[in-house]
């Protein structure tokens, strides 16, 4: 426990699918499908056991029993020591892999928005959620932003990474970016667990391998697309956040993109500055915080990605690799002011909390 004001900018809530089904219109066949076969509504997010067959435990909340209840969130906040929390529903992390059923993403996103507003979010208690957008159908995503983006309980909107086709730099998504910019809704790109199976299917044998690669691939692939296709140039007022791939991939990707850009600038004429300069204005969730061997390297890397002003403390609780605030407070080179920024002030500014 610390004396800082702490905003946990990314935690998760494992919802009850039958309860969620109540928020689907009565005459829609998906309502029955949800109730009768809830396990078939979302793809799996990985074969191996994230919790290493009992080694990692999360008994404080109902997560590992298969369902959390709204009352678990204050418990999670107490465990993490958070004064405010921004949650994404667990099942929506597989959202990027919803392929067939044209209607399903839109239907689920809307049901979730209503469910979270009705049952979970409570701004007075510091409990916020993200509006997960059905980016597969951008027009419907904009309608959802128009319908719910002004709700105080939604701290921002969210696009789940994990292999959207086409990737998020495509003009197909412009309407979403414009709507978020106009509504002053920060847009969180969240790595998707659904990308893990790809590596597993391809022959990687252990979760340690697929998890390392999958989350990086999720975010790096979308960062590249967004930066090179000029999303930040086209929508300069849009606040962009990337969550859940640690932070050290950012300066590496900056350097690689800059090297590519200097060689191939004619392929990105929309850009008016180096890719790294756009990326240093984005925000990055800290979890799962990297564990570099050298503090000097870590310090330089944070400076390179834009400094403490661009980092948002995230716990990812109750997931297996969650970070308590001590992941930040124990960083030896950060000043007290920088810790305050990362632990809460940056998130308060970005999310308007």
Partner 1 sequence: MTEKIKVCHREELELDTRKVISVESGKEIGVFNVGGEYYAVENACPHRGGPVCNGQIQKEIRAEWRGPGNRIEETISSIPTIACPWHGWEFKLETGEHIGDSQIYVKTYEVVVEDDNVYVIC
Calculate ∠ Cα 327-353-323, nearest 5°. Answer: 15
By the rule CB under 8 A, 155 interacts with partner 1: no
By the rule CB under 8 A, 229 interacts with partner 1: yes
Q: Are 157 and 188 in contact (CB under 8 A)?
A: yes
Among residues 263, 293, 294, 332, which is the contact residue for partner 1, using CB under 8 A? Answer: 263
Residue number, 94 or 224, with CB nearest to partner 1: 224
CA dist list (Å): 52 to 30, 47, 152, 226, 284: 34, 12, 38, 35, 27
Give the helix ranges, DSSP H, for 127-241.
Answer: 138-148, 174-182, 196-201, 207-228, 231-234
Structural tokens at position 113: 């928005």
Site string for partner 1, 170-199 (x = CB under 8 A): -x--xx-xx---------------------
Among the residue ranges 82-90, 158-166, 167-175, 244-252, the one whose residues contact partner 1 (CB under 8 A): 167-175
By the rule CB under 8 A, 271 interacts with partner 1: yes
Residue number, 45 or 276, with CB nearest to partner 1: 276
Q: How many helices and strands (H and E) does the chain possess?
A: 15, 8
Among residues 35, 50, 234, 256, which is the contact residue for partner 1, using CB under 8 A? Answer: 234
Residue number, 243 or 276, with CB nearest to partner 1: 276
CA distance 81 to 48: 30
Among residues 79, 212, 268, 309, which is the contact residue for partner 1, using CB under 8 A? Answer: 268
Among residues 255, 270, 281, 307, which is the contact residue for partner 1, using CB under 8 A? Answer: 270
CA distance 345 to 353: 9
**Would you tell me which residues interact with partner 1 (CB under 8 A)?**
171, 174-175, 177-178, 229-230, 234, 261-266, 268-271, 273-274
């Amino acid at each position: 426990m610390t004396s800082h004001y702490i905003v946990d900018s990314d935690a998760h809530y494992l919802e009850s699918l039958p309860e969620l089904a109540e928020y689907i219109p009565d005459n829609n066949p998906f309502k029955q499908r949800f109730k009768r076969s809830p396990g078939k509504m979302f793809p799996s997010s990985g074969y191996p056991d994230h919790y290493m067959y009992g080694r990692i435990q999360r008994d404080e909340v109902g997560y590992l029993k298969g369902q959390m209840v709204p009352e678990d969130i204050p418990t999670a906040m107490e465990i993490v020591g958070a004064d405010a929390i921004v949650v994404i529903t667990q099942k929506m992390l597989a959202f990027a892999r919803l392929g067939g059923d044209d209607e399903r993403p839109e239907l689920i996103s809307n049901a979730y928005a209503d469910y979270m507003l009705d049952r979970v979010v409570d701004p007075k208690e510091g409990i916020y959620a993200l509006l997960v957008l059905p980016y597969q159908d951008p027009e419907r995503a904009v309608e959802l932003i128009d319908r719910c983006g002004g709700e105080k309980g939604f701290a921002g909107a969210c696009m789940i990474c994990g292999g959207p086709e086409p990737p998020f730099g495509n003009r197909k998504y412009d309407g979403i970016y414009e709507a978020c910019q106009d509504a002053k809704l920060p847009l969180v790109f969240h790595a998707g667990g659904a990308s893990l199976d790809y590596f597993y299917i391809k022959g990687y044998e252990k979760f340690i391998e697929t998890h390392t690669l999958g989350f990086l691939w999720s975010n790096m692939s979308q960062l590249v697309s967004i930066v090179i296709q000029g999303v930040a140039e086209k929508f300069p007022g849009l606040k962009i956040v990337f969550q859940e791939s640690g932070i050290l991939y950012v300066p590496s990707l900056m350097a690689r993109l800059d090297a590519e850009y200097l060689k191939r600038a004619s392929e990105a004429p929309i850009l008016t500055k180096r890719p790294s300069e756009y990326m240093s204005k984005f925000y990055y969730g800290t979890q799962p915080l990297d564990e570099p061997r050298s503090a000097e390297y870590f310090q330089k890397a944070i400076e390179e990605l834009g400094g403490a002003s661009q980092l948002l403390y995230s716990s990812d609780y109750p997931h297996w690799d969650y970070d308590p605030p001590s992941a930040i407070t124990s960083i030896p080179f950060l000043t007290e002011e920088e810790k305050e920024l990362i632990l809460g002030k940056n998130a308060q500014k970005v999310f308007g909390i």
